[in-house]
């Protein structure tokens, strides 16, 4: 009988583990991930725009290490929001206010027929030295698309605890520097926790299965999915 290999989902990912608010990759590199807000540049006065541009130039000139800026757009399902609006609408006693609420609900329903409602999230990935780009490529825990289309995600042997501790010492001042420079841009940023990182990556790989779910951080909790590959002789 031909043998059949059973793999967990984890075997096909570039991420080895998420621990102590850091992402550890199978190639021995470690990354810190910051989540930031955004600045609506078009709504700023001209003098404010000039100040933002100057501050951003200072940020770029001050960085001596690689970092990756990621913008993630996710389609939102606002069905529950519309249901809530309708429930509020039904409770309104004043006829004029009720008609206005009804008009607003119908307006939103018409808008989403032709336009997608997107939720944008902004992230900055700071890699350790061992994950710096090479040969014109990029590396980092958000390069998951390239991993899915054939890039190698084989694990190399390294001391996990020692690598993680060294990366903490290396990455902490880099993260603090970026947060400080972002503050000059009036951009709030914060390092993502282990729980937030697990939920983020679970959502990336399971985009249709995460509505309302709370993912636990135990390693077995996100290793449970089984993938059956082709039969191997």
pLDDT at 141: 53
| Confidence check: pLDDT of 198 > 50 | yes
Averaging pLDDT over each range in 65-74, 151-160, 165-174, 219-228, which range is the top one? Answer: 165-174
| Confidence check: pLDDT of 57 > 70 | yes
| Confidence check: pLDDT of 33 > 70 | yes
Q: What is the mean pLDDT of residues 49-74?
A: 89
pLDDT band at residue 208, thresholds of 50, 70 and 90?
low
- Across the chain, mean pLDDT equals 78
| pTM (predicted TM-score) | 0.68
The Cβ-side half-sphere exposure at 221, using a 13 Å CA radius, reads 12
pLDDT band at residue 108, thresholds of 50, 70 and 90?
confident
Residue 92 and residue 139 in contact, taking contact as beta carbons nearer than 8 Å: no
Give exposure, 65-102, as e/b (b: 16+ Cβ within 10 Å).
ebbbeeeeeeeeeeeeeeeebeeebeeeeeeeeeeebe
**SS3 at position 97:** helix
| Confidence check: pLDDT of 223 > 80 | no
Give the residue with greater pLDDT, 76 vs 85. Answer: 85
In Å, how far from its chain's centre is CA 181? 21
Q: What is the mean pLDDT of residues 115-124?
A: 86
Kindly list the domain boundaries of the chain, sorted by start residue.
Answer: 8-73+120-222, 77-116
pLDDT at 140: 52
Percent of the chain with pLDDT over 90: 28
| Confidence check: pLDDT of 22 > 90 | yes
| Confidence check: pLDDT of 180 > 70 | yes
pLDDT at 8: 67
The CA distance from 72 to 123, in Å, is: 8
């Amino acid at each position: 009988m031909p043998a059949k290999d059973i793999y967990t989902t984890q075997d096909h990912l570039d991420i080895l583990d998420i621990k102590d608010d850091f992402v550890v990759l199978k190639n021995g590199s470690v990354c810190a991930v910051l989540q930031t807000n955004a600045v609506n540049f078009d709504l700023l006065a001209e003098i404010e725009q000039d100040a933002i541009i100057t501050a951003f130039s200072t940020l770029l000139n001050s960085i001596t290490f690689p970092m990756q800026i990621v913008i993630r757009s996710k389609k939102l399902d606002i069905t529950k929001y519309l249901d809530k609006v309708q429930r509020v609408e039904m409770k309104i006693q004043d006829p004029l206010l009720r008609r206005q609420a009804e008009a607003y609900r119908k307006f939103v329903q018409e808008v989403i027929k032709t336009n997608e409602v997107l939720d944008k999230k902004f992230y900055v990935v700071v890699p350790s030295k061992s994950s710096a780009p090479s040969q014109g490529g990029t590396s980092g825990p958000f390069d998951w698309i390239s991993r899915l289309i054939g890039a190698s995600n084989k694990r190399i042997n390294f001391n996990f605890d020692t690598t993680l501790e060294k990366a903490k010492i290396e990455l902490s001042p880099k993260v603090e520097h970026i947060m400080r420079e972002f503050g000059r841009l009036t951009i709030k940023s914060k390092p993502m926790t282990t729980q937030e990182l697990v939920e983020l990556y679970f959502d990336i790989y399971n985009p249709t299965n995460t509505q309302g779910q709370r993912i636990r951080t135990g390693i077995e909790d996100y290793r449970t999915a089984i993938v059956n590959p082709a039969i191997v002789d």
